[in-house]
Structure 1
Amino acid sequence: MKNVLFVCSQNRLRSPTAEQVFSKRHDIEVASAGTNHDADTPLSHELVAWADIIFVMEKTHRSKLQKKFKASLKAAKVICLDIPDDYEFMDPELIALLKARVRVIWTETSRRPSA
């Protein structure tokens, strides 16, 4: 079973939506966090070390992750979904975009089905 972490800035809209959408899968464990210090669930060394795959919403999240948590990244694969902060929590458009982007990446990298 893979541990999948979704990361955005505040952990209020995009990454919690992704966590909820993909938590229904039985072949992965999911969590979400934010890069900002005042995020609902701030990104931590423990979460980064736990993750096998880390999906960040924007390139700035990847940069912050790699700069601040380099020691904890181990062999985790970090993938940018390029999803801007334009959506509300559980927005149907956001859900469709997350499923489409993760499906393409999941298929390319692990040949496993996605949500």
Structure 2
Amino acid sequence: MKEDGLKTKEKREKNWKLLYLRSAKLARAKQLGFDYPGASNKPEIEDNEPLNVLFICSRNQWRSPTAEAVWRNHPDLRARSAGTSPNARRHVSADDIRWAHSIFVMENKHRSRLKAEFGDAIANKPIHVLDIPDEYQYMDPELVDLLKASVESILGLP
């Protein structure tokens, strides 16, 4: 019985120490200007500031420019688009990554390419894979519907 009490006390003490260490690490990370791993990936923006969303596909020719056009005039968003291919109409840059609060990629391969090229810069950015294949033309009505439904549900937009 006494042994159980000691284990409980040790467990409480250990949990307290872990919480203290984690809060100290979080505070230090914030002081240095980066997120501690495991901290919230929710973008920190002002309540009235629009959310910067970056749409990525391969060549920035059909899918991501369509997404940018669809969301460009939304009052709560600022939209940009770029491509991961060296042949992209507009190649994604480090400035694009820094600017974005949230990144939407059309396929898993785009997320992989971003991680390979920008590693630490995107480590704490939310990246959403939309799973939209490269079989649509610019402003294709079906593509527009897919983009609206996906982005609205992810961002919780009306």
Mark yes or no: TM-score above 0.5. Answer: yes
Task: Give runs of aligned pairs for residues 62-101 of structure 1, distance below 5 A.
Answer: 62-73=111-122, 75-101=124-150
RMSD: 1.1
The answer to whether 1:26 aligns with 2:75 is: yes
Superposed CA deviations along residues 27-64 of structure 1, whole A, max 9, x for unmatched, are 11110000001100001111011111000000000000
Please state which structure has a larger fraction of its residues in helix.
2
**85, 88, 93: which one aligns with 1:39:** 88
Higher relative strand content: 1
Alpha-carbon spacing, 1:74–1:2, altered in 2? closer, same or farther (3 Å): farther
SS of corresponding position for 1:40: coil
Over 4 Å off, 4+ runs? none
Q: CA deviation at 1:72?
A: 2.0
1:47-66 equivalences under 5 Å are 47-66=96-115
1:2 aligned residue: 51
What is the alpha-carbon distance in structure 1 between the residues aligned to residue 127 and residue 115 of structure 2?
Answer: 9
Structure number with the bigger relative contact order (C-alpha 8 A, sep ≥ 6) is 1
Give 5+ residue unaligned stretches, structure 1.
108-112
Say which is worse superposed, 6-15 or 24-33, in terms of deviation: 24-33
Determine helix, strand or coil for the equivalent of 2:59: coil
Equivalent pairs: percent with the same residue? 46
Structure 2: give runs of 5+ residues left out of the alignment. 1-49
**Residues in 2 aligned to 1:8 and 1:92: alpha-carbon distance in whole angstroms:** 18
Worse-superposed segment, 72-81 or 18-27: 72-81
